[in-house]
Amino acid sequence: MTPGVNPCGVRRRSMSRERPSVLFLFADQLRGRDLGCMGNPVVRTPWIDQLAHEGVLARRCYANSPVCTPNRGTLLTGLFPHVHGAVANDVPMAADVPSIGRVMRSAGYRTGYVGKWHLDGVPRTKFTPPGNRRHGFDYWAAYNCAHDYFRPTYYRDSAEPILAGGYEPVVQTDLAVDFLGSVADDEAFVLFVSWGPPHDPYDQVPDEYRQRYDPRELTLAPNARTAIDNPLARDLDPHETLRSYYAAVSAIDDQVGRLLVELDRRGRRQDTIVVFTSDHGDMLWAHGMMKKQLPYEEAIHVSLVVRWPEQLPPHVHEAPCSTVDLVPTLLDMTGLSAPSRAHGTSLLPQLRGERGEDRPVLIMNQCRFDEALVQGVPEWRGLRTVRWTYAETLGREPWLLFDNDSDPWQLENLAGNPAYRDVQDALASELGTRLDAVADPFADTLHMVEYCHATEAWDAREAYMAANEEEQRRLGVLD
């Protein structure tokens, strides 16, 4: 590719490396605790662990909306779903919403996106053409949504899908390496790489990775309930599933390693901010539940590692933070201004080692769909503080209250317990203040859809999912 010409054919000035580049890596449905650097003694993630050793490991990072499309929109905008528009899976993000891709492209960055997108509505096979629906990303090797890891498919700039051979994360990493190779030595870039695993179907992982784990040696968490009649867990053996899940995490770790080596090979280590995180977690039988859309730790807690050599001293960051903070943080790190209405806050001072405010994280499930309906999960809003998890259902009804210090597996729900009335009241007051600040009406699903001016998109989503239910379940993408 000719330096200074992006894949859409638009010539722009080559931006000197006066600002750092950004390599943003994220997995799908990866629980925060399931990395070596996060304390898991079994899962093997040497490359991510190395990244954490060289950078900042944020141990208390949370997905504000623990489900795919809404939180992916938040990762790219620093806005909560009711403002960026993608309030439910397969409801598209508003085409004109401010995004990190748009801001950085306007500043002269080369912008690229590789992997799962899931922000363009239905059908899930949809081609996202160059233009507003790519939200500022010029280099494009992405697919709206599929979890068919041995049939990797993606689009570039034409409506003909490209079917590649091999394991999808490897193919996507090859594409990311191609992008890095197209960037001029004096050019700043931002590249998002979105891998599908360890999202189910759990068994779609190369056997070489499964052989690294013996299911007989894997221990389920104390809050796991496997003797359940949960349709999402049928035909799944918990130990074999955990084996495959860890195998997929290790496979992603290898791809992280490939990209870190490529940065070094190209002399881009020092001037590139590397981020590793996930869009949300996975219940995996915790409390008898599967997947996400829940305020439990397994669903909301995600990993966050940020490396910026010579700018961020390696350390462990313990204050709560969340995915809505990442856009303001990255724009602050690159000397750019976040959109004025961003809901997140820059973490840069804290990532540099300064003591910050332990501000509670606002968490939410603004719409019920798919597994929430199957598992009887209501619409909810809540807070995660250093110590407490608190959640309410519609009508501001207290639902869950956990003391995560004394009860890390969240086995005792303290909501309504008179001994914790003062704690509950204080959290309820703080939650109300936070909801008012972001103009969240805390309404039921259909009213939230209407509030977001997304009724037509919601109706299209419901029709599509009903017509394609069998195929979607086969591919494990009813997420």
Examine the residue annotation and report whether 68 is marked as an active-site residue of this protein.
yes
Query: Within 10 A of 123 (CB to CB), how many other CB atoms are there?
Result: 15
Question: Which residue in 82, 118, 135, 301 is the catalytic one?
Answer: 118
Sheet of 304-307: strand order equals 139-143, 110-116, 189-198, 21-28, 272-278, 304-307, 56-58, 315-317
Query: Within 10 A of 463 (CB to CB), how many other CB atoms are there?
Result: 11
Distance CA 55, CA 57 (A): 7
Taking CA 210 as the corner, what is the angle to CA 206 and CA 215, rounded to the nearest 5 degrees?
Answer: 155
On whether the CB atoms of residues 184 and 2 are closer than 8 A, the answer is no
Torsion of CA 74, 79, 80, 83, to 10 degrees: -120
SS3 category, 40: coil
On whether the CB atoms of residues 334 and 20 are closer than 8 A, the answer is yes
Q: Can you tell me which residue has the tokens 């894949």?
A: 7
End-to-end CA distance of the chain: 37
Q: Which residues pair with 428 in a beta bridge?
A: none
Query: Within 10 A of 363 (CB to CB), how many other CB atoms are there?
Result: 24
Question: Which residue in 37, 68, 367, 452 is the catalytic one?
Answer: 68
Examine the residue annotation and report whether 239 is marked as an active-site residue of this protein.
no
Q: Can you tell me which residue has the tokens 């390696």?
A: 314
On whether the CB atoms of residues 184 and 1 are closer than 8 A, the answer is no
By the 10 Å C-beta count (0-12 exposed, 13-18 middle, 19+ buried), 101 is classed as buried
Distance CA 271, CA 16 (A): 11
β-strand 380-384 against 361-365: which pairing, if any?
A: antiparallel
Distance CA 231, CA 197 (A): 21
Which residue spans within 374-436 are E strands per DSSP?
Answer: 380-384, 388-393, 397-403
Q: Which of 15-38 are b and which e, b meaning 16 or more Cβ less than 10 Å from the residue's Cβ? A: bebebbbbbbbbbbbbbbbbbbbb
Distance CA 86, CA 200 (A): 22
On whether the CB atoms of residues 472 and 461 are closer than 8 A, the answer is no
Distance CA 454, CA 93 (A): 10
* Residues classed as catalytic: 68, 118
